[in-house]
Amino acid sequence: MRLTDPFIKALKAPENGAVVYPDDGFAGFGVRVSEGGTKSYVLTHGKLRRRETIGRVGTITLAKAREKAKIRLAEYTLGKSEGASMGWAEAVEAFLNDVKRRLKPRTLDGYTYELTKRFRFGDLKLDEIKPADIQRRLDRIAHSPVQQHRAFVTLGTFMKWAYRRHYVETNPMDRMVSGHRYRPRMRFLSNDELVVVWKACPEDDFGTIVKTLILTGQRVGEITNLSPDMIGTDTVTLPDWLVKNSHAHTFPVGALALEHIKRLPMRKTGERSTARFENYQRHKARLDNASGVTGWTLHDLRRTFASGLASLGVSLPVTEKLLNHVSGSFAGIVGVYQRYNYAKEMREAVTKWEQHIQTLIA
């Protein structure tokens, strides 16, 4: 059928991949609908049936898209143009579909965030994106070197992928450097700061997340992606796909930690989504203002946990087991042959830590 605005508006996203709905009134022209719900006008042309994006539905009208497609098709027919490269939005979607089969959900989530939120080039063609365009966007987050570096690495990975796929003739990031040098953070919260932060935590999901991080020492992405099937009577088991080092991690929890864990917003059992908790920065800024404690990150609570255990006389191997570290005490040959799980010692350490926290906040 001939495409119309009402027909396009009513199109539903497919469960997997993408579907192209051709326009019977214009051979080669159609609308592509991705599994994420993105709708784009496309033109398929030539003996090799190359497909390119004309524009997003909503940013360009159907009439304008038809007109633009006809002009391009005429140019290709007359040999005035060899055809533009793949559009940004289409290429990002193809990239994410390609890598999701081999990436951890948390890594895929990071890639998706950077490429769809941080870098918004819309339907601009890949070969139209210049180094200066990329640098301007990176400069906007120069105030946060870590975020800037993460964005730089993600975009670099994407551009290398596009270059290897011949979607661009040159990689616009070839001569670009991050300029970020990794410096390990040393910040941890003192006992006095812990008390103030704990008592300033709001009675909402974010406050519960912060308190759970204090009590368990686990990573933010692990705590915010718990599901009911991971919670035991007095333990939590993180599956290999969720943890950073791909080693499934079972750790004991005390009564106070379990109480907070049960209040967390949970994923559905079996769900592997690692969507970000929304507005972390806004919630964190409010907590900083309420507590008066600044200059720390949520990940610093992990260092606070480790430092606190050391002050209570807990041995380093036990702390590393609780943190699910496979380096340090368990690196190399030790990690291969030393299979003792330290369950008893971890339980004792967690009990000490909870008693310590309860004494502080009493």
- pLDDT (tens digit per residue) in 277-323: 667 788 999 999 999 999 999 999 999 999 999 999 999 999 999 99
For every residue of 263-276, DSSP letters joined together read TS--PPTT----PP
Amino acid occupying residue 38: T
What is the Rg, in whole angstroms, of the alpha carbon atoms belonging to the chain?
26
The whole-number pLDDT of residue 362 equals 87
Contact 45, 83 (CB under 8 A): yes
Residue 178 has a CB neighbour count (10 Å cut-off) of 14
Positive/negative CA dihedral, 124, 97, 150, 214: positive
The whole-number pLDDT of residue 332 equals 45
Averaged pLDDT, groups of 10, the chain, 362 residues long: 86 85 87 85 78 84 88 74 68 89 82 89 82 90 86 94 88 85 81 96 94 95 91 93 86 95 85 63 92 93 95 93 73 46 91 96 89
Domain ranges of the chain: 5-84, 89-164, 191-361
Q: Give me the chain's average pLDDT, please.
A: 86
Tokens of 82: 């060899």
Max Cα separation, the chain?
A: 81
The whole-number pLDDT of residue 333 equals 41
The region, left, alpha or beta by phi > 0 then psi within -120 to 50, assigned to residue 43 is: beta
Residue 18 has a CB neighbour count (10 Å cut-off) of 19
Is it true that domain 5-84 has CATH number 2.40.30.10?
Answer: no
The whole-number pLDDT of residue 79 equals 61
178 Cβ contact list (under 8 Å, min separation 6): 148, 149, 152, 153
Tokens of 342: 């330290």
Q: Residue 21 burial (CB < 10 Å; 0-12/13-18/19+)?
A: middle
Cβ-defined contacts of 33-36 (< 8 Å, 24+)? 34/93, 36/93
The whole-number pLDDT of residue 203 equals 93
Positive/negative CA dihedral, 218, 222, 225, 231: negative
- pTM exceeds cut of 0.85: no
Contact 237, 249 (CB under 8 A): yes
CATH class of 191-361: mainly alpha
Closest residue by Cα to residue 28 from 66, 59, 78, 85 = 66
The whole-number pLDDT of residue 335 equals 46
The whole-number pLDDT of residue 212 equals 97
CA distances from 243 to 221, 233, 270, 295, 356 (A): 8, 21, 15, 26, 27
Residue 249's DSSP bridge partners are 238
